[in-house]
Amino acid sequence: MSDTKCSLIASGQRPTINAEQVVWQLVRLFASHDDPTLKTKVGRLAKTLSEYQPDFKRMVSAKKKALEQAVQGLGCHGLTPDVSGLTHLHVAIKTELQRHVEAYKSALHRLEELGLAASDNKKPVDASHQRLLSLRLPEVQQRLIDNKTVLTILDKPALKQLGPLIETLATRVQSDKEALFCISQLKRLQPIEEDKPVATVLMSFSRGCGALLELMHAAESPCNSDTGYHSETETEQELGIEACYTTHTF
């Protein structure tokens, strides 16, 4: 924040203050420092933020939830059920695809053997309503046998696992996207070490959000000793002083 804005705040005037910057800088402080006295040092500022914009609590709470969900998503890449037991998802997908390939080849071969897919003996008139209602008993019996033969090849329980495996894969892709999106947002607050576990980074900022929320909720408690009259000018002054030292948004 410019010196001009800080001067306006000190004089009691109401400039535009990016108080959200202050919120995320406090989250960063709680995430980056293991200082037991930090809550005491910034307690009044957290109270001021809560009074200045009550919606900040909802905003920080939503971010904390997103970070926690991202951490949870990082841990959902474990072993997956397979017909032979538990295995890695990619192994299960490969096995399932191989089953499908073999089944499809077998079905194609059977269709060719039975002459069911020949292009020269299948005319539109063969499937007309009038033609279908004129079939004799042996023809209906043969049609049943032919269709049942192909269905037996394709309709196997083992071939029904690909759908759930694809859904699991899609869930894992989305989970990693959300985790990396959270990291990209955190990079706006401070540099993120490439060799640091992603979950560690996310959990530290989740704790930072939790610590700030704790102070904001404590400020609303009737037992809070600092619940006396707090003028708008005082609120702006405290926000302004902190905003003078913050330059990033989240």
Please name every residue paired with 81 in a beta bridge, in sequence order, or none if there are none.
86
| Cα(42)–Cα(57) distance, integer angstroms | 16
**Residue 139 or 199, more confident:** 199
State the pLDDT at residue 3: 47
Higher pLDDT, 146 or 60: 60
Helices (H), the chain: 3-10, 19-32, 38-52, 55-74, 89-114, 129-132, 137-154, 162-186, 198-220, 232-243
Quick: pLDDT tens for 65-89. Answer: 999 999 999 988 888 887 778 899 9
The rounded percent of the chain whose pLDDT value lies above 90 is 36
Band (pLDDT 50/70/90 cuts) for residue 24 is very high
For tokens 């900040």, the residue is 56
At 99-108, the pLDDT tens digits run 899 999 998 9
Dihedral angle at the C-alpha atoms of 241, 244, 247, 248, nearest 10 degrees? Answer: 10
| Residue 150, pLDDT score | 87
Handedness of CA 60, 29, 230, 218 (dihedral sign): positive
Q: 3-state DSSP call for residue 236?
A: helix
Region 21-27: mean pLDDT is 93
Say what the pLDDT of residue 113 is: 86
Taking 60 as the threshold, does the pLDDT of residue 229 lie above it? Answer: no
